[in-house]
Amino acid sequence: MKLDARIPAGPLEKKWSSHKSNIRLVSPANKRNIDIVVIGTGLAGSSAAASLAEMGYRVKAFCFQDSPRRAHSIAAQGGINAAKNYQNDGDSTYRLFYDTIKGGDYRSREANVYRLAEVSANIIDQCVAQGVPFARDYGGLLDNRSFGGVQVSRTFYAKGQTGQQLLLGAYSALNRQIGKGNVKMYNRHEMMDIVVEDGKARGIIARNLATGEIERHGAHAVLLASGGYGNVFFLSTNAMGSNGSAAWKAHRRGALMANPCFTQIHPTCIPQSGEYQSKLTLMSESLRNDGRIWVPKNKKDAEAIRAGQMKPTDIKEEDRDYYLERRYPSFGNLVPRDVASRAAKERCDEGYGVNATGQAVYLDFSSAIERYGKTEANQMGLENPSREKIIELGEKVVEAKYGNLFEMYQKIKDVNPYKSPMMIYPAVHYTMGGIWVDYNLMTNIPGLYALGEANFSDHGANRLGASALMQGLADGYFVAPYTVGDYLADEIRTGDIDINSDAFVQTEKDVVERIDKLINNKGTKTVDHYHRALGKIMWDKCGMARNAEGLKEAIVEIQALREEFWKEVNVPGRKDMYNPELDKAGRVADFLELGELMCLDALTREESCGGHFREEHQTEEGEAMRDDKNFAFASCWKYTGEPSKAELIKEELTFENVELKTRSYK
């Protein structure tokens, strides 16, 4: 099988504009006869559904939550990048492109990333026009902050609720089209499979989760905007329902999965507190603008803290090891996520971790509070303000910036982070890997597209902070609505899709058989039992650090676990009514296959790059060692019946505009 990414010819800066002007168009009259199904209503799905409907296509949108507004994008906290250069700090389309390629450790496609940077500025215009209330300065203009891995301020934000505000903006655009009757919305519906006929995507089989009914939906194009699969690790910062099933179903029907092992472990999450833990909570990266990360310099202090005999505030300044500032003086606390996570793990593995478990480091705001307090006092013209006054003023500034995050921390940990540093530890957060797509965001199955976190396209081996929201909206507002025309121009004579065709009948039968198998199994163990067991294997052997031996073991263990699952899982209740355990069982069954493929991918990639750290490939200082000679490609996997027997197809990555360098943040 030969892969063609269909990257337009011409210089990098011209590719998108010339491609756009050459894309085939579908006339308004013909659009009215074309059906498009969109799976997912996060940033990518909502924006795509709204835009396509506005252009005149007949759209159906699906989400498994009770409202499109609850898609997981709602939880994004810190911000969204755009090369607006409002701060006049030297930002540009090229710089955003370069930072993203470098941040991704040179494992993404130049042309896609450049386009992303190019449309980024327009996203902000669009959102502001919709009434998204971004943070503003006193002059009434938009404010910015910085994120990891970059040296400019290009992140737009709405306190710690940026994802919420952007999603509600896209949701409002979607609502407008639903109200007009151009989009039909299917809440509490799960896509169970994709229908492929004569090699083309022709629709989906869905299940109404409230009633259990199975439905067929025909379409001339199907867009998957179903989000990431971080929940394969059981514990992650993703919402409970986030899953990989839509992508996995597409994979089983022939779509390639690319770089599935590229997982982002986020350095600043609230550490796990017990076995009953159901998810982990992120503390936004924006906090690293002002928070300083440290552990005690002396092991005995760390031990005393773990034993509860000492408090972090008891440790003197000179006895603290600000290890990121020490190891990476030029980026300091703002190194990219993969680097920050590994550095935290290194300190904890060496015995310097805090928290009873030893699996935590401090994120401390006391310096920032003092610094801001002094500035405020100066601005207010206070002479010789007391320390209390400075702290009080500083805390107010910090509250205005991060108030809701501090509140969130306090609600969970019952500790006041203004007074005592936060405890944090890395956790699974995002999946750079996903469904392979070409420049048009089309998978290798004609008519099937993948958008947002569900595809593999833009972030290489490591995503920079605040770039997922940018990518979701770029895909949905500005890319897919145009590129689908290239394919749909040939579909104007197809007419309505026949949902009684053999392909629909057979796919529905497969879906029903699997549901029956799950519900009739009546084994001895719960779905969560298997999910937890899988998560532990993945975290221990395919997590922050990986090695060949562990990965080989993991593959065998996952196979055994999957076999046991199908024998022993117990799914209570009925299939013909609301039954969340049944929904969960189907998703975990898919994770049990996807996890195996992730381990195979990690095993095959004999190098360290971005979030993929192979212990065999590191420098003496413990930094990742990339192998551009042998691994400058995207690994695309074709399903052959067994996850670990998947066939590897390489998309070679060629870099014509940037020079491949060792990524250094020192």
Partner 1 sequence: MNLTLKIWRQNGPDDKGHMETYPVSDVNPEMSFLEMIDVLNEKLIAEGKEPVAFDHDCREGICGMCSMFINGEAHGPGKRITTCQLHMRSFNDGETVIIEPWRAAAFPVIKDLVVDRGAFDRIQQAGGYVSVNTSGNTIDANAIPVPKRDADRAFDAATCIGCGACVASCKNSSAMLFVSAKVSQFALLPQGKVEAKDRVRKMVKQMDLEGFGNCTNTGACEAECPVGISLENIARMNREYMGASLSSPD
Ligand X SMILES: Cc1cc2nc3c(=O)[nH]c(=O)nc-3n(C[C@H](O)[C@H](O)[C@H](O)COP(=O)(O)OP(=O)(O)OC[C@H]3O[C@@H](n4cnc5c(N)ncnc54)[C@H](O)[C@@H]3O)c2cc1C
**What does DSSP say about strands 155-156 and 183-186: parallel, antiparallel, or unpaired?**
unpaired
Residue 572 touches partner 1, criterion: CB under 8 A: yes
Tell me whether residue 337 is one of the annotated catalytic residues. Answer: yes
Binding mask 594-613 for partner 1 (x = CB under 8 A): --------------------
Beta carbon nearer to partner 1, 9 or 129: 129
Q: Where are the beta strands (DSSP E) in 503-551?
A: none
User: What is the smallest separation between the CB atom of 178 and partner 1, expressed in angstroms?
Assistant: 5
Q: At what angle do helices 527-541 and 548-568 cross, to 10 degrees?
A: 170
Beta carbon nearer to ligand X, 312 or 535: 535
Q: Which residues pair with 35 in a beta bridge?
A: 58
How far apart, in whole angstroms, are the C-alpha atoms of residue 21 and residue 74? Answer: 34
State which of positions 365-404 bind partner 1 (CB under 8 A).
Answer: none
State which of positions 456-495 bind ligand X (CB under 6 A).
Answer: 466-469, 472
Beta carbon nearer to ligand X, 440 or 467: 467
The residue from 69, 320, 337, 605 that is catalytic is 337
Residue 306 touches partner 1, criterion: CB under 8 A: no
φ, ψ of residue 79 in degrees (nearest 5): 160, -175
Residue 408: contacted member of partner 1, ligand X, none (CB under 5 to 8 Å, by partner type): partner 1
User: What is the smallest separation between the CB atom of 462 and ligand X, expressed in angstroms?
Assistant: 13
Binding mask 567-606 for ligand X (x = CB under 6 A): ----------------------------------------
Beta carbon nearer to partner 1, 29 or 141: 141
User: What is the smallest separation between the CB atom of 81 and ligand X, expressed in angstroms?
Assistant: 7
Kindly indicate which of the ranges 131-139, 601-609, 621-629, 657-665 contains the residues binding partner 1, using the contact rule CB under 8 A.
131-139
Residue 191: contacted member of ligand X, partner 1, none (CB under 5 to 8 Å, by partner type): ligand X
State which of positions 152-211 bind partner 1 (CB under 8 A).
Answer: 158-159, 161, 163-165, 168, 171-173, 175-176, 178-179, 185, 187, 210
**What does DSSP say about strands 155-156 and 80-81: parallel, antiparallel, or unpaired?**
antiparallel
Alpha helices, DSSP H, located in 149-287: 162-179, 245-252
Cα end-to-end distance, the chain, whole Å: 42
Within 8 A by CB and 6+ apart from 224, the residues are 39, 40, 246, 247, 250, 435, 448, 449, 450, 451, 454, 455
State which of positions 246-275 bind ligand X (CB under 6 A).
Answer: 246
Give ∠ CA 323-159-263 in degrees, rounded to 5.
Answer: 50
Binding mask 244-273 for partner 1 (x = CB under 8 A): -----------------------------x
How far apart, in whole angstroms, are the C-alpha atoms of residue 48 and residue 112? Answer: 18
Residue 28 touches partner 1, criterion: CB under 8 A: no
Over the range 79-108, which residues count as b (16 or more CB within 10 Å of their CB) and which as e?
bbbbbbbbeeeebebbbbbbbbbbbbbbbb
Dihedral of the CA atoms 126, 130, 132, 133 (nearest 10)?
A: 110
Residue 51 touches partner 1, criterion: CB under 8 A: yes
Tokens of 277: 């833990």
Which residues contact ligand X (rule: CB under 6 A)? 39-45, 62-65, 71-73, 75-80, 162-163, 189-191, 225-228, 237-238, 242-243, 245-246, 282, 284, 429-430, 452-454, 466-469, 472
Catalytic residues: 337
